[in-house]
Each structure stands twice: as C-alpha cells, then as structure tokens.
C-alpha cells in the first residue's frame, strides 16, 4: 500500500473534531516555524500568516451561516477571534507585532478540541 493511500484512509477515519485538531496543529507548527525565521524570509512568514488567516476566515464564514448548529454565543466568539487574527496578522506582516498571540490562540483552540485534561496542544 502506498503512503498516499494510507494517508487517505487515515483522513477518512477522522471525525470532524479530529480533523480540525490536526489542521490547527499543522497551521500552528507553520506559525511557530515562521516566528523563528529571519525577518527577511518574507515568503515563509507570509505563507504561515496567510494559512492561519484563511483557516480563521473559513471558520468565521461557517459560523455566520444560519444553518450552523453551534450555540450563537460560541459562533460570535469565533467570528470575533477571526477578526482579531486578521488584524493581528497584518500587524505581524508589517513588523509591528509578533506571532505569539496567534500561536497562543491556536493552542487554546487545540486544547478545547482535544478535550479536558489533555496536554495534546503542547505538542503542536
């Protein structure tokens, strides 16, 4: 069996919460890496920031849908975080701030997705 077939099978076996956790882990690792590269490595920094911003924008769009079954207050919080992520990402791109707030937010979301008592987000 090829590696790609294994990855496809593993992805299909995940529930939505696990997929979200995995995606947040990938994006957060990209942010963590981008935070360590030289400021002249603009492509790496912008790629990570853009990926994170697109993730949060997608979540906000989903939360704005009237068909979304989540609690309205949670949906509003996610939309609010998405707006913060967008503004903060722009500040990081301009060199006015750092990646830490974005990384911390993603880790907190990962902890929530992992469930109580899990230290899984620390491994991001």
Q: What is the 3-state secondary structure (H, E, C) of 74-115?
A: HHHHHHHHHHHHHHHHHHHHCCCCCCHHHHHHHHHHHHHHHC
Q: What is the pLDDT, as a whole number, of residue 3?
A: 63
**pLDDT classification of 81: cutoffs 50, 70, 90:** very high
Q: Does the residue 88 lie in any domain?
A: yes
Domain assignment present for residue 41? The answer is yes
The verdict on residue 68 lying in a domain is yes
Tokens of 48: 């990570």
113-119 long-range contacts, Cβ below 8 Å, gap at least 24?
Answer: 113/17, 113/20, 113/21, 113/24, 114/21
**Based on the structure, what is the number of domains in the chain?**
1
Please check whether residue 123 lies inside any domain of the structure.
Answer: no
pLDDT at site 20? 96
Residue 16 lies in a domain: yes
The DSSP result for 3-55, as a single string, is: HHHHHHHHHHH--HHHHHHHHHHHHHHHHHHHTTS-TT-HHHHHHHHHHHHHH
Q: How much is the pLDDT for 26?
A: 99
Angstrom distance (rounded) from CA 15 to CA 102: 25
Whole domain around residue 53: which residue ranges?
3-118
Least confident of 26-40, 41-55, 69-83, 104-118: 104-118
Q: Which two tokens stand for residue 12?
A: 């299909």
């Amino acid at each position: 069996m090829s590696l790609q077939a294994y990855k496809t099978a593993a992805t299909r076996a995940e529930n939505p919460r696990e997929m979200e956790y995995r995606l947040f882990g990938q994006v957060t690792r990209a942010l963590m890496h981008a935070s360590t590269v030289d400021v002249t490595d603009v492509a790496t920094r912008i790629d990570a920031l853009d990926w994170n911003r697109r993730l949060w924008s997608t979540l906000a769009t989903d939360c704005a849908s009237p068909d979304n079954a989540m609690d309205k207050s949670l949906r509003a919080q996610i939309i609010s975080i998405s707006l913060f992520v967008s503004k903060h990402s722009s500040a990081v791109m301009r060199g006015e701030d750092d990646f830490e707030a974005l990384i911390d937010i993603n880790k907190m979301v990962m902890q929530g997705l992992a469930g109580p008592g899990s230290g899984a987000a620390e491994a991001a």
